[in-house]
Amino acid sequence: MNILNILEEIEKTDAEVYERISPRRKAMAQFYGFGKKVALASIPFALGTMFKKAYAQTASTEVEAVLQFALTLEYLEAEFYTKGVAAAGLVPAGAALGAITTIRDHENQHVAFLKTALMSLGKTPVSKPTFDFSAGNGSNTGPFANVFSNYDTFLAVAQTFEDTGVRAYKGQAPALIGSGGVLTAALNIHSVEARHAAHIRQMRKARGANIKPWITGQDTGIGAIVQASYAGEELEDQAGIKITGINGQMISASAATEAFDEPLTKAQILAIVDPFIV
Amino acid sequence: MENITKKDEQIILQKQDILSAPLQRRSFLRYAGAGAAGIALLAAGCKKDGMMIDDSAGVNLGSGDVGILNYAYALEQLEAAFYIKVASSFYSGITEAERSLLTDIRDHEIAHREFFKNALGSNAIPGLEVDFSMINFSSRDSVLGTAKAFEDLGVSAYNGAGVLIKDANYLTLAGKIVSVEARHAALIRDLISNGSFANSEVIDANGLDKSRLPMEVLGIAAPFIKTKINANDLPKS
C-alpha cells in the first residue's frame, strides 16, 4: 500500500486533492511526516479518514456500486489464484508458478485497494462471498470440478476470469465519469487485467490451445458455461465504422475483432460469474 | 466554425511573433560576437528553447473530446508506422510465431489509426512524419525494446486520458482499445523476458498500471515524431 503514490495518482487528475484534504498545503507536509511515524498497517486507516473528509460529499451511490461490484470480482480472482498457488502439484514450478504468483499478488492488492477506496468514501466494503470454482453453484461438482487438480482446467478458468474482468471494468468506466481519481484507478486496474489475460493465453497456447494473446472472434473452446464471456467480441464495427478492410487497408475480420475488446454490463457479468458464487 | 476561429487565432499569434522577432534577433546578435557559425549556433539554440518560436505553432490537436481523439490518433499513427516498418523487413532470426504476432499487432494498430481518422473526419489532424533513426530494425533487441516502450506508453496514455474524456461513448471506445494495447504490451514484454508481462516496472504496489497525462506522453514520444504537435488546447482536467 503505497500511500504517497495514491496521492500522486489522484493529484494528476485532481490538482486540488491536497486543498480538499486541507485548505493549507502545509498540512500535507505534516501528513508526510506523520506517515513515517505510524506503522505501515495503520496507514490505510489514516488515509481513509483523510479521504472521507475530502471526498465524502461528492461520492455518489453510483460510484460506490461500481467499487463494490469490482471488489466482488477481485475477491473471486484473488481466492482463485490463492487456492491455485496453494494446490500442491497443480502449477508447475518455475516460470508458470512465478507468473501465477504475480497475478495472485495483483488480485490481492486490488482487493486491498478497493476496500481502502470504499472505506475512504465512508462506505462499508461488501464481504467476500463463498465461491465454487467448479462453476457448480455450491455443489462443487460443476463442469470445472477438477479446477485445482487439472492444470489445463485451471488455466482455462483463469483465462475466462481475466477476459471477463477486462470486460467488466470496461463496462463500468462510463459510470465513473466525473469521479476523477476513482476512474483513473479503475482504468489502471483494467489494463492490468488485460496484461494478465494476455499472459494466461500464452500459457495456454504453450500447452497446445489454439489461441492468441488477444481475443479473436468469439474465441470458443473453453466450455458452454463460460461462452457468454466471449459473446459480442466478434464485433467488426466500431461507432458505426466497419473495421474489416477499413479505408482499403488489408484488415481481416479476425484482426478487426482482435483490435477492439468489448464491454459487458454489470447484469451480464453477474450472470457469467453466478455459477461460481454460492 | 470553432476550427476556423482557432486557425485565425493562430495566424494572429504568429503575425505578432513575426513583428516582435526582429527586435529579439537584433539583441541576440549584439551578444553573438563575430562569425556566421556563432550566429547559426545561437539561432539553433533559440529554436530549441522556443525563444523565437510561437507556442501555438505545430499541428494543433484541438480541444475537448476531439482533442483527446486526435491525441490518440497521433499515438496510433506512431505505433502503426513503427510496426509497418518492422513487418516490411523483419529482424534476422525471427521465429514464425514472432512474425505472426508482430503482424497481428501491426494490423491492430492500423485498424486503430484508420478508425480514429474516420471517426474524426474533418477534425482529424494530418498524417504525422515519424523519425525512427534511433531504431535498428534488423536487431531483435532494438525492435522489441522500442515496441515495449511504445506499448507501455500507449497503455499509460489511454489510462491517463480517460478522466479527460467527457462523452461516455468515447470513453468506452478508448477502453476498447487500451486493453488491446495492454495485451500487446504483455506479449512484447514476455517475448523479451518471459514473466515480465506485468512486473514492477509498470505495476505499482497497489496492483495498478501507470497513467500519464498528455504532456508527459507527448514529451516521451517527441523524439520519434518529426512533426511538431501542439497540445495546448487539450483538456487539463
Each residue's pLDDT tens digit, A168-200: 999 999 999 999 999 999 999 999 999 999 999
Does residue B203 sit at the A interface (CB-CB below 8 Å)?
yes
Average pLDDT over chain A reads: 86
Question: B122: which DSSP letter?
Answer: G
Task: For A121-135, write each residue's pLDDT tens digit.
Answer: 999 999 999 999 999
pLDDT for the residue B55: 58
A9-18, A242-251, B210-219: range with lowest mean pLDDT = A9-18
Domains and CATH numbers, chain A: 1-57 (no CATH), 59-276 (1.20.1260.10)
A105 close to B (CB below 8 A): yes
The CA distance from B30 to B49, in Å, is 19
Q: How far apart are the C-alpha atoms of B180 and A261, rounded to whole Å?
A: 7
Residues 258-277 of A with CB under 8 A from B: 258-263
Q: Mutation target for A interface from B148, B190, B208, B236: give the one with most A CBs within 10 A.
A: B208
Cα separation of A134 and A152, whole Å?
13
What domains are there in chain B, each with its CATH number?
2-49 (no CATH), 59-230 (1.20.1260.10)
Report whether pLDDT(A66) > 60: yes
* pLDDT above 60 (res A208): yes
Pairwise CB contact (< 8 Å): A177 & B159: no
CB-CB neighbours of A262 under 10 Å: 21
Of A2, A169, A184, the CB nearest to B206: A2
pLDDT, position A264: 98
Is 60 exceeded by the pLDDT of residue B189?
yes
In this prediction, residue B193 carries a pLDDT of 98
Give residue A254's pLDDT: 98
Cβ–Cβ pairs < 8 A, chains A and B? 204
Q: pLDDT tens digits, residue range B200-220?
A: 999 999 999 999 999 999 999
- For a pLDDT cut of 90, what percent of chain B falls above it? 76
The cell for A273 is 460469474
- Is the CB of residue B64 less than 8 Å from the CB of residue B235? yes
Q: Residues 148..187 of B with a Cβ closer than 8 Å to A: which?
A: 155, 158-160, 162-163, 165-166, 168-169, 171-173, 175-187
Query: Which triple of cell numbers denotes residue A212?
Result: 492468441
Proportion of chain B above pLDDT 70, given as a percent? 76
Q: What is the mean pLDDT of residues A76-91?
A: 98
For the segment A34-46, the average pLDDT, to the nearest whole number, is 40
Long-range contacts of A6-11 (CB under 8 A, 24+ apart): A6/A47, A6/B206, A9/A181, A9/A184, A9/A185, A9/A188, A9/B208, A9/B211, A10/A180, A10/A181, A10/A184
Amino acid at B37: A
Residue-wise pLDDT tens digits, B25-62: 333 333 333 333 333 333 333 333 434 445 568 999 99
A102 in B contact zone (CB under 8 Å): yes
In whole angstroms, give the CA distance from residue B107 to residue A255.
Answer: 6
Which of A188, A187, A191 is CA-nearest to residue A174? A187
In chain B, which ranges are continuous DSSP H helix? 2-32, 36-49, 64-88, 96-120, 140-161, 168-192, 214-221
Once rounded to an integer, what is the mean pLDDT over residues B130-153? 98
Q: Which of A33-47, A76-90, B63-77 has the lowest mean pLDDT?
A: A33-47
Predicted confidence at residue A13, as pLDDT, reads 57
Overall residue count recorded for chain B in this entry: 237
Q: What is the CA radius of gyration of chain B?
A: 21
Report chain A's C-alpha Rg in angstroms: 21
Rounded to whole angstroms, how far apart are CA atoms A103 and A81? 7
